[in-house]
Amino acid sequence: MFDSTITIIGAGVIGLAIAAELSKFHENIFVLEKHSKFGQETSSRNSEVIHSGIYYPSNSLKAKLCVVGNRMLYNFCEENDINHSKCGKLVVATNKEEEAVLEKILNQSVLNGVSDGQLISQEEAYDLEPEIFCTKAIHFPSSGIIDTHGLMKKLETKAQINSVSFAYNSEIIKIEKIEGGYVITIKEDEDLFTYTTEYVINAAGLYADQIAILAGTYQPAYMIHYWKGEYFSVGNGKNKKINHLIYPVPQTNTVGLGVHATLDLNHGMKLGPDATYLSSHLLEYSVDKKKQMAFLEVARKYLPFLELDDLHPDQAGIRPKLQLPGDPVRDFIIKNEVEQGHPNFINLIGLESPGLTACLAIGKLVNSMLADNTTN
Ligand SMILES: Cc1cc2nc3c(=O)[nH]c(=O)nc-3n(C[C@H](O)[C@H](O)[C@H](O)COP(=O)(O)OP(=O)(O)OC[C@H]3O[C@@H](n4cnc5c(N)ncnc54)[C@H](O)[C@@H]3O)c2cc1C
């Protein structure tokens, strides 16, 4: 007999979405989180965009979970009164070469099952956004923004109503495999606690590879690399000049989507995030004021109304990427580690963007992986 059926490590948006979903079908679920409340790391340091799923390679988990997750998230917001806006997004070309890339983006979006993308002329784009500059654009009405904190709070509440136990200030420091399950050791302040669990779900974000090491489920392909993304907010009333998310055509050699303009639900505007590889694993969230000019130069290509003193250092987040500079794009890893001799241990590693958009779809996927296993 185990103390707990399922242990979920991490109360970011992924761990919370998994907890809310699994609690509909399973009892005796523990969520362990080292901070004093949910969402203190990457889930509170992102663009809060509900992506439509256009860029990711066909049939990748990122593409599939983003496209399905997008619809699920809008429905969830409607049903649960979570603040959001389906404001739409424009991907803008500013010259002939970029126009050619737009065609590729549109084709990829169709392959991924995104059916609402529309190639539009400069005039049509200016009807939507009179203050921008572009030569052509693609309009994706299904992109939007969400109150991520509201989403996480609702997921936590739903899980709690279904009797999930949340242990905050609880850091997992040891995981041992035993017959049919695992022994978990937690550090809470200076005290150590040990208990047994049948299933473990590793949703530890930036530390997911470290948890895999603790459990003996690590492989070299699981190594997480930190990529920082910094943002500048736009003030002086210029934040009111756009109504859609505005993205440049991504450059082929970059790991992010290029510095873009995102909106928040209070009609604030942010530029970012850029993408800087970090050689150390320190969580360092400062924003370098010296990047102000570089951000301005990139953004002015499509937001010509911007001036230097409109930009102010804002927030930063760190992406848990599986790729080093120059490496090809990697997919999410979501895997039951049966082959490594750790059945019922599910690793979720490299859950960078579009993890927020995909969170509810990921909850369903993890639930189906448990169901597969229980029927085997
Ligand atoms: C700059 C940036 C912009 C982004 N923009 C978007 C966007 O617009 N749209 C989108 O869909 N996605 C976006 N993302 C991605 C999205 O934010 C992530 O995919 C998502 O937040 C990941 O959630 P998580 O729960 O996996 O991780 P986290 O939020 O990091 O949660 C993991 C949790 O595990 C806990 N933990 C770790 N180790 C332990 C341990 N040993 N014991 C106990 N607890 C532990 C941590 O404390 C943490 O709370 C962005 C990411 C970044 C960095």
CA 18 – ligand 1 centroid, Å: 13
pLDDT of 373:
61
pLDDT of 62:
98
**Would you say the CB of residue 34 lies under 6 angstroms from ligand 1?**
yes
Count of Cβ atoms closer than 10 Å to residue 223 Cβ: 15
Predicted confidence pLDDT, tens digits, the chain (376 residues): 899 999 999 999 999 999 999 999 999 999 999 999 999 999 999 999 999 999 999 999 999 999 999 999 999 999 999 999 999 999 999 999 999 999 999 999 999 999 999 999 999 999 999 999 999 999 999 999 999 999 999 999 999 999 999 999 999 999 999 999 999 999 998 899 999 999 999 999 999 999 999 999 999 999 999 999 999 999 999 999 999 999 999 876 556 678 899 999 998 999 999 999 999 998 999 999 999 999 999 999 999 999 999 999 999 999 999 999 999 999 999 999 999 999 999 999 999 999 999 999 999 999 999 976 654 3
**242 and 126 in contact (C-beta within 8 Å)?**
no
Closest residue by CA, ligand 1 atom 51: 46
State the Cα–Cα distance between residues 273 and 295, nearest whole angstrom.
Answer: 10
State the Cα–Cα distance between residues 355 and 112, nearest whole angstrom.
Answer: 16
Which residues in the chain belong to E strands, given as ranges?
A: 4-9, 29-32, 49-50, 84-85, 89-93, 118-121, 136-140, 144-146, 165-167, 171-178, 181-188, 191-202, 225-234, 245-248, 260-263, 269-272, 276-278, 311-321, 333-336, 345-349
Substitution site in 43, 265, 274, 365 for ligand 1 pocket (most atoms within 8 Å of beta carbon): 43
The angle subtended at Cα 60 by Cα 205 and Cα 217, nearest 5°, is: 45
Closest residue by CA, ligand 1 atom 37: 204
Atom of ligand 1 nearest to the CA of 357: 11
